[in-house]
Structure 1
Amino acid sequence: MSGMEDEEKNIELVPPPSEQHTPTNIGLWDWSSENDPDDPHNWPKGKRAYHAGITAAFAFTTTFMSSIYASGADEVSEHYGVSTTVSLLGISMYCLGLSFGPVLAAPLSETFGRSIVYLSSLPVAALFTVGCAVAQNIGTIIVCRFFAGFFAAPALSIGGGTLADIFHPSSRGIAMSLFLLAPFLGPALGPVIGGFVAEKKGFRWLEWVMLFFMIATYLYSLRLKETYKPIILRRRRKRLGVPEASKLSNGAGALRVFLTITLFRPLTMLITEPIVAFFSLYVSINFGILFTFFASFPLVYSRVYGFNTGQIGLTFLPIMIGSVLATIICVLCDRLLYQKEFMRASAQTDSENNLEDGEAASTLTSQESPRIKVLVEPEHRLYAAMIGGIGIPIGLFWFAWTARSDVHWASPVVSTIIFAWGNLCVFISAMTYLIDSYGPQYGASAVSANGFSRYIFSAAFPLFAIQMYDRLGIDWATSLLGFISVALLPIPWILFKWGPQIRKKSAYKIIEH
C-alpha cells in the first residue's frame, strides 16, 4: 500500500528527477511563486467568497432535503398503509445515501477534481427527487430517497477540502465556521417549511420544494472553477504540452490508483486513524441524536402539548438559533484564541528564519526562494469543542425533564437551543481539526470518513426513536442520550493533550498545510 501511495504522490506532486529545479519547469509541478495567480489562495476575495458560498449552498440544500421529508411521514404512512417506522425509512435511506456518497465523491474529487463532482452529482439527485415525488408505492419512495441522498452527498464531503484549497489556515477558521453552519440550518429549516407545506399541499409537494432548492443551487454554481492544486497543475502541464511524470497518470493508471487507494482511503482512515475514528464517533452520536428529533418531536409535542403539523415544524427553529450562536462562538474562538497562537507562531518563525533568509537571498532568485509557512498546531482548533461539548448533555437533560404537561412548552424548546449550540461547536471543531491535521491532500478523505460514519448513525437513530420513547418515556429516553453524550465529552480534551503524538504516528503525513 505504501508503494502505491508513493506512486500516487509522484503523479500529482513530484516531477521526474531530471526535470526538477530547472528554470523552464518552474510552475509546472508546483506554484511558480507565492503569488501565482492560479493558486486559489491568491484569488480575489470576491471570487473566494463566491466559491465558499457554493459549498455552503450545496451543503444547505443537501441537508434541507434530509429533514423536510419528516413533515410528511405521517401522511405517507396513512397514504400507503404502512407503519410510521416504515414511512421514516424515507429519512433513514436518504441519510444512508449521504453516508455512502462521500466515500466515492471525496476520492473522485482528489483524482479528477472538485468541480466535476459538484456539477455532475446534483442533477442526478434531482432526477431521483422527481421520482420520489411521483412514486406510486412506498418501495419507490425508499429507493429514490436513497439515491437522491447518494448523489446529493458530495458537497458534504468535499466542501471542507474546497475551503482548504482557497483559504490559508490562518483565515480558514471563519470560512469553515460559516460553511459548517449550512448543514445545521438545512435540517432545522426543513421541518419549519415542510410542516406548513405538508399541512396545506400534501407530502408530494415536499419533494417539489426540494427540487426548487436544488435548481437554485445549481444555477448559482455554474461559474464554479477548479480549486484542487494537483488538478490545476496537471491541466497547466497539459495546456503547455508537458508529459506527465508517470505512466500511472494516464486514464488506466489513474483508475487503478483510484480503485486501489483513493476509493478505500476514507474507510481505511476511519479504522486506522485514531483522530478520525474518535471524532467520527463523537460527531456521529451527536448527529444521530439530532435526527432522533425528527421522529421524537412530533411524538412529544403532539402528545404532550397538542401541536399540529405546522406548529411542530416551528419547534425546530431553536436548532437554527443554537446553530447561529455556535457559529459566533467558533468565530470568537478563532479570533481570540487561534489567531493569537498564529501571531505567536508567526513571530517565532520570522525570528528563526531571518538569518537563513538573508543568506539564501544571495544565492537564490526570488522564484527559487523557499516559501516559509507558519504552522499552528491543529489542536488549537479544538477550543470550541471543549467549550461547547458541555451544552449537549445540558440540553438533553433539560429537555428530558421539562417536556411534560405541567411545564410550559417554551422550556423544552429553549433546551433545544443549548443542544444545537453544543452540537455545532463540536462539529465545526471536528471538521477544522481534521482539515488542519491532514491538509488538502488527505483532508477530504478524512472528512469523507467522518461523513460516512455520521450519516450511518443518522439513518439508524430515527428507526428506533419512537419505540424507545414509547417504552422508556420522554424523560428516560432522552436522559439515556444525555448519558451517552457525557461519556463522549472528554474526546476533544484528550486530543488537545495527546493529538500531536498521535499525528506523528499517522500513515497519512500532511503534505501541504
Structure 2
Amino acid sequence: MSSLFTNQYGLSEIQNGLTFIANGVGSLVGTLITGKILDADYRKVKAEYQSLFDAEGSRRSSSEFPLEKARLRLVPIFACLQCLSLILFGWTIQYKVHIAVPVISTFITGWTVVSMQSIIMTYLVDIFHERSAAASASINLARCLFAAGGTSFVMPMINDVGVGVTFTICAAVQFVSLVGPFIQWRFAGGWRKEAEAKKRIAEVDD
C-alpha cells in the first residue's frame, strides 16, 4: 500500500506512515464493535429459537440450534462491504482521486477484515469448543498462507494490468469465496446432528 501512495501521490515516508492510521482505526473499531454486534445477534436468534419450542413444550438438543444462522448471517454484509472497499481503493488510487477517498477505503477494509475474522473465529470455537485452541490456530494459519500467497502476485499483477483491475480481481475472488460460508450455512447443521448421533452410539457401545 505504501508504494502505491508514494507512486501515485508522491508522499514522503512520514506521510505514508500516517495513511496506515485509518486502517488501524478501522481494525480497532471492528474489534470493539463487532463483538457486541455478534453477541446481540446471537441472543436474538437464541431467543427466537427458544420461544418457538417453549411454546410447543418440546425439547431440542444442542445440535438442533441454528448455530450457522446465529453466527454466519452477517458474513455476506461484511464481505460485500470489504469487496466494495477494495474496488474503491484500487480505482481511486489508479485515477489519483483525492487521497482522502482511498484512505477512507482502508478504514472500511480494516474494519471489515477484523469483523470477518471475529465472526469466523467465534463460529469455529463454537463448533469445536473442545478444541478451541486448534480452531484458532487453523484460522491464523490459513490467513497467513493466503496473505503470503497474495503478496507474491499482487504487485506483479498491478504492474501488468493496473491497480484498479488488480483490486477488482481480488474483490471478485473474495466474493466467490463466499461459497464456503454458504455451504456451512446450508449443510453444517445436518453434519453436526450426524456427528452427535455417532458420538452417542459410540458412548453406548463403550
TM-score (norm 2): 0.79
Unpaired runs of 5+ residues, structure 2, are: 200-206
Distance 1:387 1:477 in 2: 22
The alignment yields a C-alpha RMSD, in angstroms, of 3.0
Q: Residue 378 of structure 1 aligns to which amino acid in structure 2? A: L
Asked whether the 8 Å contact 1:400–1:477 carries over to 2, the reply is: yes
Distance 2:145 2:79 in 1: 21
Correspondent of 2:171 among 474, 482, 486 = 482
> What's the counterpart of residue 5 of structure 2?
301
Correspondent of 1:334 among 33, 39, 44 = 39
Pairwise CA distance, 1:377: 3.3
Correspondence 1:418-433 to 2 at 5 A: 418-433=108-123
Q: Determine if the alignment matches structure 1 residue 498 to structure 2 residue 202.
A: no
Show CA shifts across 1:26-61 (max 9, x none): xxxxxxxxxxxxxxxxxxxxxxxxxxxxxxxxxxxx
Asked whether the 8 Å contact 1:389–1:425 carries over to 2, the reply is: no
> What's the counterpart of residue 204 of structure 2?
none
* Percent sequence identity over aligned pairs: 26
Which protein is bigger by CA-based radius of gyration? 1
> What's the counterpart of residue 322 of structure 1?
26
> What's the counterpart of residue 202 of structure 2?
none
More helix by share: 2
Distance 1:485 1:374 in 2: 30
Distance 1:374 1:339 in 2: 17
Pairwise CA distance, 1:456: 1.7
Distance 2:19 2:169 in 1: 22
> What's the counterpart of residue 203 of structure 2?
none
Report the number of matched residues: 194
Unpaired runs of 5+ residues, structure 1, are: 1-296, 354-371
Query: In structure 2, the residue corresponding to 1:315 is in which secondary structure?
Result: helix
Asked whether the 8 Å contact 1:438–1:446 carries over to 2, the reply is: yes
Q: Determine if the alignment matches structure 1 residue 415 to structure 2 residue 105.
A: yes
> What's the counterpart of residue 394 of structure 1?
84
Residues 490/326 of structure 1: CA separation in 2 closer, same or farther (3 Å cut) = farther
Distance 1:339 1:374 in 2: 17
Show CA shifts across 1:87-122 (max 9, x none): xxxxxxxxxxxxxxxxxxxxxxxxxxxxxxxxxxxx
> What's the counterpart of residue 312 of structure 1?
16
Query: In structure 2, the residue corresponding to 1:300 is in which secondary structure?
Result: helix
Distance 1:470 1:384 in 2: 35
> What's the counterpart of residue 72 of structure 2?
382
Asked whether the 8 Å contact 2:8–2:96 carries over to 1, the reply is: no
Distance 1:420 1:502 in 2: 33
Show CA shifts across 1:364-421 (max 9, x none): xxxxxxxx98984321111331321111210111111111354111111111122223
Correspondence 1:12-411 to 2 at 5 A: 297-327=1-31, 328-335=33-40, 337-346=41-50, 348=53, 352=58, 376-379=65-68, 380-404=70-94, 406-411=96-101
Pairwise CA distance, 1:436: 0.8
> What's the counterpart of residue 248 of structure 1?
none
Distance 1:492 1:374 in 2: 18
Residues 449/377 of structure 1: CA separation in 2 closer, same or farther (3 Å cut) = same
Residues 405/340 of structure 1: CA separation in 2 closer, same or farther (3 Å cut) = closer
Asked whether the 8 Å contact 1:388–1:426 carries over to 2, the reply is: yes
Residues 433/311 of structure 1: CA separation in 2 closer, same or farther (3 Å cut) = same
Pairwise CA distance, 1:499: 2.0
TM-score (norm 1): 0.34
Pairwise CA distance, 1:433: 0.7
Residues 436/381 of structure 1: CA separation in 2 closer, same or farther (3 Å cut) = same
Asked whether the 8 Å contact 1:329–1:384 carries over to 2, the reply is: no
Q: Determine if the alignment matches structure 1 residue 436 to structure 2 residue 120.
A: no
Distance 2:90 2:105 in 1: 9
Show CA shifts across 1:320-356 (max 9, x none): 2322443424422421x21122334556469557xxx
Distance 2:135 2:34 in 1: 24
Show CA shifts across 1:295-318 (max 9, x none): xx1211011111112211221222
Query: In structure 2, the residue corresponding to 1:389 is in which secondary structure?
Result: helix
Pairwise CA distance, 1:424: 2.1
